[in-house]
Each structure stands twice: as structure tokens, then as C-alpha cells.
Amino acid sequence: MTSETVTGSDYGNLVRDHLLRVEQQNASALDDVAELVLASVLADGMVLTAGAGHSLAAVAETFYRAGGLACVRPVYHPELLPMHGAISSTAAERRSGLAAEVLRDTGLAAHDVLFVFSTSGVNPYPVELAIQAVDAGCPVVAVTSVAASALAPRRAGTTLAEVATVVLDNVVPPGDSTYPVDEPVTAAISTVATAFLWNLLMVRLFDKAAEQNVHLPLWRSANVEGGDAANADLLRHYQTRVPQLG
């Protein structure tokens, strides 16, 4: 689809085209990540998910979600959330040392997997998260934009994609905006693309687990009949390891 043909009424097609590219470009990497996560589940490990700013929307997508993994532990600090202060959240992501603070009590191990969501992938917080996890022997999945990282200022000296174990590319253009196509100024696509990637992973993971007769620890919606009862065992098993389950 060319910029000459795209109008507001075509925006849905623009998004669908983008998601198709995301799916095609990550086919092999998604299989690798599904294997990592399945191995973690089999070892009774944890899937840790982290991000800053609007990438925290992706972290929310992974946690305590109907149909989602119960072995997910979100890793974050209130300063990173724009609703607690937009300017201060940007400053926090650029501050060296915060990653060490939020990882301090997680007990990262080789049987865990850390997902770091950061479309730009260049600020100290996401980069240092990945470096420290790799140093601890924990595999790191970067969910980022290779194109955006290539043009963003390297505030941490390297990029998330360069230090991660596996990269999932959300194919987001530099600046995130997608519309109008010739001079994009609105319609950021990172949240949609990243949520799509996560759920593509969940589908791959489910299929691989089924092939091996592995029962995945999946949440049920609390708003359907039997949901609370179905979740009770998962809460008992994970609540001591996931403080955010309350």
C-alpha cells in the first residue's frame, strides 16, 4: 500500500499489513522463544516481564490476564509509569542503576526467562535489565524495534537487541507514529504490534505444550462461571513468588 492510496478510511488495512509483517518476520524467533518459555514452565521457573513508559502496557498484557500464563512476574518501578509523572518517567528510564534496583529481589536464575519490552531499546533501564539478566545466566527476550533502535541515540552505549538472547521485532518505525504515511505524526502502533507478538507467542507455546502433553498454568477469567475456583490453585502456587498477585 503506497502513501498515495492511504487515507483515514484505509487505516485498518495499514495496521493489518503491519501485523502481517510482524508475524512473518518473527516466525523463526517465536519458535525459539516458545521453546525457552516451555523449558521454564517445565522447570517451574518464572517468566519475568519488564518495560518502561508505554511499554508497561505490554507488561500489563502479560500479567494476570485471562488465558495468560500464571508464572509471570511483572518487574517495574512506579517511577517508570507515566501516570505517576510523565517527565519523571522519562528521566527514570534514562537513569543508570534503576534496573539493578528492580531486579534485586527477583532471584533471577537460568530456568527463568526475562522479557524486556522497549521499542527504542536504547535507554539505560531496558539495556541494563538485559545485561544483568544475561550475566546471571537468565535468557533475555527483547521485544523491540530493530529499525527504531538503529536511529535512536545510544544512551546506554549499546542496544537491547544487541545484548538479548533472542529478539522479537515489532517492526515499529522510528518515532512510532504511522499516519499519514508520507509524514506520520499520529497513530502510534507499538502497543498493538507488541500485544500481537505476545499473543502469537502464547499460541506457539500452547501448541508446543500440547504436542508434549504439558499442562500450561493458564489463568481463567474471574468473570466467568468457575473462574475463581479454577484460579485458586494457581494463586496458591505462585502467590509467594509473585508479590503483585497480592
Whether the pLDDT of residue 3 is over 80: the answer is no
Provide the whole-model pTM.
Answer: 0.95
Cβ-contact 25, 171 below 8 angstroms: yes
39 sits in which H/E element: helix 27-42
Task: Give the Cα separation of 56 and 244 in Å (integer).
Answer: 14
**Among residues of the chain, what percentage have pLDDT more than 90?**
95
Average pLDDT of 170-180?
96
SS3 state at 115 = strand
Task: Give the Cα separation of 215 and 218 in Å (integer).
Answer: 9
Whether the pLDDT of residue 9 is over 90: the answer is no
**Cβ contacts of residue 213 below 8 Å, gap of 6+?**
none
pLDDT band (50, 70, 90) for residue 4: low
For position 188, what pLDDT does the model report?
Answer: 97
pLDDT tens string 100-142 = 999 999 999 999 999 999 999 999 999 999 999 999 999 999 9
Average pLDDT of 202-224?
97
Where do the DSSP E strands lie in 56-193?
A: 72-75, 113-117, 140-144, 166-169
Instruction: Write down the mean pLDDT value for the chain.
Output: 95
C-alpha cell recorded at residue 140: 533475555
**Nearest C-alpha neighbor of 67 from the set 190, 194, 206:** 206
C-alpha cell recorded at residue 54: 508505554
SS3 state at 48 = strand
Q: How many residues are listed for the chain in this entry? A: 246
Task: Give the Cα separation of 76 and 14 in Å (integer).
Answer: 32
**Nearest C-alpha neighbor of 71 from the set 121, 32, 37, 107:** 37
Q: How far is CA 51 from the centre of its chain?
A: 7
Cβ-contact 115, 85 below 8 angstroms: no
